[in-house]
Structure 1
Amino acid sequence: MKRYLFLILGVVLSSFMMLETQFSAQEIIDKTIQVSGGERYDNAIIHFKFRGKQYRSERNKGFYTLERKIDGPDGVIHDVVSNSGLTRTIENCSVPVTDSLITKISDGVNSVHYFAYLPYGLNASAVRKNIVGKSIIKGIEYYKIKISFNEEGGGTDFEDEFLYWIHKENFTVDYLAYKYAVNGGGIRFREAYNPRIINGIRFVDYNNYKALNLSTSLSDLDALFEKGKLKLLSKIELEDIHVYVSDDCC
């Protein structure tokens, strides 16, 4: 009798496992973008403040502008990255930017906007995505999605690697990690907190951690985080966020 009970239990458990929906990496990213704002990103004007600097972005039908304003010694420096490249003005007067600074300034503007709007951007044409497993952090199960970039269209930091922990049920990015090579290289692990929805678009802040050993695999960072083995470097906090979405959207 016990033998038959075990057989029945095994069949039931196998059935439940088969009923679990299996998503591809692309489907997971699609769902994650959708729950965080979806097509609203593509038709939005967004303002926010980060570490004393003003940022603004505007997207409409494939055209975009990413802006940053800084109080400099000669007045307000206004950098604009768009489909046409980089422009800089100081107190509304256009100033030339040397070739050696174009990439540095553009990357500085791009990176802040990129992280502010995650997961938007993960469906860019240069992005490669793969499921590398699942994990449990603080009792919650996550998909682990590795993000890498093609050299063509992947920007100056196309060799950087990213890993995203996406909530298995809510499809939110609750943790992310990345390894970069510039300035001697480094590894960062970010824990999202303070989620809020502003006019249909989700924003979060982050606790920003550092891995002490540069040979650490990104995939091991969740376990190190749970054991308290990562060093808290800073907080990534967006302030004074305003979102306007075109009536043509949604």
Structure 2
Amino acid sequence: MKSLHVVLLFITMVFACSDNNFPEADAIINKSIEVSGGKRFEHSTIDFDFRDRHYKAIRDKGYFLLTRTTLVGSDTIVDALNSKDDFIRYRNQKKIQLHDTMAVKYKSSVNAVHYFSVLPYRLNDDAVNKTYISKTKINDTEYHKIKVTFNAEGGGEDFEDVFVYWINADTFKADYIAYSYAESDGIGYRFREAYNERYINGIRFVDYNNYKPKGSNIDLMAMDRLFEQKALNLLSKVELININVQVSDY
């Protein structure tokens, strides 16, 4: 009988952990997506400028087309990525044949800018894994701390990247993001602080202060503490300008 009680206790603990992690993380991310634009993302055309390049995203019922346009002298270079994972580069409207390694590099770059531009949208993709870490505070404001990882299948070329989101416990907006990524000489770390929030046609956009740790031996989960301790260097600003949004009926 005592063994049965131990087994039942173990099962209860397993289900309790499951309930406290994945379902809660899903609910918080769902709410964050909702307050940031919700279904408007799924039927939208968004274009903006970022660092001297023009970006455009067309999304409709699961289909998407992401483009980046670069002017090089008298040439117009357009990189295009769609939901079928097809990537094509055009120069002056003519398709260019790329080496596989360069195509992967360009595709990843285009996807990354579009991905960050509409966060937390796409955190419900099939390849995304979400884990609730804890409630915490940054500068006396309470946040839900959520870890995000990706499956190899469907997670893109950078599926080994790990993200942490701090979702405001009152507004459910993503105010801070940290992530780790592969560099040629190891693992890189970044921490982003959202600012300049604005809603355009019902969709939330922010800019970011982009920070890098001052030291080594970094713990991704402790990036919020480093931020509070001013142990991060401001590396750059991530600013979207000339944003236009069109939303179809949904």
Q: What TM-score range do you get, normalising by the shorter chain?
A: 0.7 to 0.9
CA deviations 1:118-168 (Å, max 9, x no partner) are 000100101000111121112110000000011111111111110000000
- SS class of match (2:40): helix
2:24 aligned with 1:28, yes or no? no
Identical-pair percentage: 47
Mapped partners of 1:39, 1:242: distance in 2: 17
2:101 aligned with 1:100, yes or no? yes
Q: Number of residue pairs matched?
A: 227
Q: 2:203 aligns with which of 186, 201, 204?
A: 201
Partner of 2:117: 116
- SS class of match (2:41): helix
Partner of 2:166: 165
Mapped partners of 1:190, 1:205: distance in 2: 9
CA deviations 1:201-232 (Å, max 9, x no partner) are 00000000001334311221111111111000
2:43 aligned with 1:43, yes or no? yes
Q: How does 1:80-91 map to 2 (within 5 A)?
A: 80-84=80-84, 85-91=86-92
AA aligned opposite 1:200: G
- SS class of match (2:156): coil
**Structure 1 residues without counterparts, runs of 5 or longer:** 1-21
Partner of 2:223: 221
Deviation for aligned residue 1:35: 0.4
AA aligned opposite 1:33: I
CA deviations 1:88-128 (Å, max 9, x no partner) are 11111222122121110100100000000100010010100
AA aligned opposite 2:104: T
Partner of 1:133: 134
> In 2, are the aligned partners of 1:187 and 1:214 still within 8 Å (CA)?
no
Mapped partners of 1:221, 1:100: distance in 2: 32
Deviation for aligned residue 1:87: 1.1
CA deviations 1:40-81 (Å, max 9, x no partner) are 101000010001100000011211100000112450100110
Q: Which moved more, 1:60-69 or 1:95-104?
A: 95-104
> In 2, are the aligned partners of 1:40 and 1:200 still within 8 Å (CA)?
yes
**Structure 2 residues without counterparts, runs of 5 or longer:** 1-19
- SS class of match (1:124): coil
> In 2, are the aligned partners of 1:186 and 1:214 still within 8 Å (CA)?
no
AA aligned opposite 2:174: V
Mapped partners of 2:90, 2:152: distance in 1: 31
Mapped partners of 1:74, 1:156: distance in 2: 32
Partner of 1:14: none
Q: TM-score, normalised by structure 1?
A: 0.88
Partner of 2:245: 243
Mapped partners of 2:181, 2:119: distance in 1: 18
Q: TM-score, normalised by structure 2?
A: 0.88
Mapped partners of 2:132, 2:28: distance in 1: 9
- SS class of match (1:111): helix
AA aligned opposite 1:96: Q
